[in-house]
Structure 1
Amino acid sequence: MTEPLHNVRALPFRIERAGGIGELVIDKPPVNALDTRGWHALAEAIDALGRDDSVNVIVLRGAGRGFCAGVDIKELAAYPERIVAVNAGNYATFRAVHRNPKPVIAAVHGFVLGGGIGICGAADVIVASECARFGVPEIDRGAMGGGAHLQRMFGVQKVRAMYFTGEMVDAAEAYRLGAVERVVPREQLRDAAMDLARRIAAKSPAMLQLAKEALNGVEDGDLEDKYRWEQGFTLQAYMTNDSSEARAAFVEKRDARFDAGDANVEVQPGARA
């Protein structure tokens, strides 16, 4: 059950509709990291845009310093039991993007991390500013997840290098590897995304929806099932001492101190959150 969304002003995003384009801007200072309620609200809003007959294409972008830094680690450090609800919110958001009947453009700048990768990997097209940097720092936050969506952007071995190291890829490299459609200066990002959106929005709404469904259907495997598999390991990770230490170190702005006690974690394939 998600919390009723009574206070619209408290939502971590804003939405505008014009010319067949639904534009959703994540706006949750300082880094657009969303808490449990924020992820569920975001999923509901993206689903609503998909049902809106006045919208032919959706643009997702972020305000402030970067696109999206993922989940609110401080919330999970204080309330680790919320991991299941956060997982559900992430799943719902990425599903709302990928399975949306309308094409979705992600227009990204600055940091694109964790849940930001999930949104991009679920989107149909990515436009990036020159300052954009893509990464999955989960291994340094005591979590798992994001590999399925990252693998929709990059090749298998590049994904594993990024996943194991937590290191980021810049926009130029992402473009070279075919993950993004276009790279532009930061001040041109919105214009570039909206120009692409206008060209898409001018097409037949019926044809666009058929095209989206057809393209999703010819993909290799089921993105939502793959991500659900990963989420079981996120829950398992949260049961380890190393995960607790990683989150505490992040919040306290210090180096994590790991012992050998969690080195041989018993893996239970298929564990579900």
Structure 2
Amino acid sequence: MSQPFHTHLQDGIAELVFDHPPVNAFDSHGWAAIAAELERLGADAEVRVIVVRAEGRGFCAGVDIKELANHPERIVAVNKGNYDSFKAVHRNPKPVILAVHGFVLGGGIGLSGAADILVASDCARFGVPEVDRGAMGGGAHLQRLFPVQKVRHMYFTGEMIDAAEAYRLGAIERVVPRAELRDAALEIARKIAAKSPAMIGLAKEALTGIEDGNLEDKYRWEQGFTLEAYRVADSQEARDAFVEKRSAQFNG
């Protein structure tokens, strides 16, 4: 089975590049592979910094809704893949920089909220369509990016915000044209890679340890509500409507 990404290492900088047309939406196997690769890179002594970016129309559209529409029982495997991937970024011993463009949805939000540094192209759009897809999740990571009321507005309405607004709210380090996105991420990565790996490793562990609350525990709490949502008929209807490209019809 081919992987939905490729990896490249040069001068201590590892690039993990999503490349899964048309929208970089990953199934349960894809998320598991992403988590495993991030963990492998974090354990590689030659890697000093990790840059995650993407080819195609957008950074990441989240999970493969078609898989879940056809196999709702795979929600447990998808949940695990998401959890492991986000944790592999947040708890990675190496700094992780995300370079995002186009749509950043669902699992893309989870990765972004878990990252150490975020750069974005001016075409980037951030959103959590979970409620409209019959699921939950992503709120903990979204709240690591934006203020709590903004998170709730985005979550309840499904409305997206652009890179300029995300920058204004303090989530993004730099906004650049799409053609300059990779260079912007690598410029930051080179500055970090030039420093003592031991000192950077200690800094990452220290900074993660002083965060307010435990991100992984918060996300695990959310995932329980995804399983609960899947027991509601509206959840299946939401996924069916998305796959069939029609408006959902909810009862009461």
TM category (shorter chain) comes to over 0.9
Pick from 77, 89, 97: which aligns with 1:85? 77
CA distance in 1, matches of 2:45, 2:216: 25
For residues 90 and 174 of structure 2, what CA distance do their matches in structure 1 show?
20
Could you report, residue by residue, the CA deviation over 1:225-263 in whole angstroms, capped at 9, with x for unpaired residues? 000000000000011100000000000000000002xxx
Q: What are the superposed Cα offsets for residues 12-60 of structure 1, whole Å, 9 maximum, x if unpaired? A: 0000000110000011100000000000000000000000111100000
* Alpha-carbon distance, 1:131 to partner: 0.2
2:40 corresponds to: 48
Matched residue, 2:162: 170
Alignment pair present for 1:108 and 2:100: yes
| 1:118 paired residue among 110, 116, 132 | 110
Counterpart of 2:147?
155
For the residue of structure 1 that corresponds to 2:204, the secondary structure is: helix
Q: Which residue of 1 aligns with 2:231?
A: 239
AA at the equivalent of 2:29: R
The 2-side partners of 1:188 and 1:19 are apart by: 20
Q: State yes or no: 1:94 paired with 2:86.
A: yes
Cα RMSD between the aligned structures?
Answer: 0.4
Among candidates 49, 58, 65, match of residue 57 of structure 1: 49
SS at match of 1:230: helix
SS in 1 for 2:104: strand
How much has 1:64 moved relative to structure 2?
A: 0.3
Q: State the shift of 1:166 in Å.
A: 0.6
Q: Following TM superposition, where does structure 1 have runs of at least 4 consecutive aligned residues deviating by more than 6 angstroms?
A: none
Q: Which amino acid aligns with 2:41?
A: L
Deviation at 1:168, TM superposition (A): 0.4
Match of 1:163, SS state, is helix
Code of the residue aligned with 1:248 in structure 2: it is D
Secondary structure of 2:7's aligned partner: strand
Aligned to 2:200: 208
Quote the Cα distance in structure 2 between the aligned partners of 1:250 and 1:180. Answer: 30
5+ long unaligned stretches in structure 1: 1-6, 261-273
Q: Secondary structure at the match of 1:40?
A: helix
Q: Kindly indicate whether residue 225 of structure 2 is the aligned counterpart of residue 194 of structure 1.
A: no
For 1:253, the aligned partner's letter is K
TM-score by length of 2: 0.99
Does residue 142 in structure 1 map to residue 126 in structure 2? Answer: no
Deviation at 1:139, TM superposition (A): 0.6
CA distance in 2: counterparts of 1:61 and 1:235, whole angstroms: 30
- 2:229 & 2:171 partners in 1: Cα distance? 28
Whether 2:68 is the aligned partner of 1:76: answer yes
Q: Could you tell me how far apart the structure 2 residues matched to 1:167 and 1:202 are?
A: 40
Aligned counterparts of 2:74 and 2:118: Cα–Cα separation in 1: 30
Percent identity over the alignment is 73
- State how far apart, in whole Å, the 1-side matches of 2:64 and 2:191 are: 35
Amino acid at match of 1:86: V
Q: Deviations over 1:131-186 (max 9, x none)?
A: 00000000100000000000000000000000000110100000000010000000
Q: Distance in 2 between matches of 1:85 and 1:13?
A: 19
> How far, CA to CA, are the matches of 1:222 and 1:32 in structure 2?
28
Partner amino acid, structure 1, of 2:191 = R
Equivalent residue number for residue 39 of structure 1: 31
Give the TM-score taking structure 1 as reference length: 0.92
Q: Distance in 1 between matches of 2:109 and 2:226?
A: 16
Match of 1:255 in 2: 247
Counterpart code for 2:241: A
1:130 corresponds to which of 85, 106, 122: 122
| Partner residue, 1:267 | none
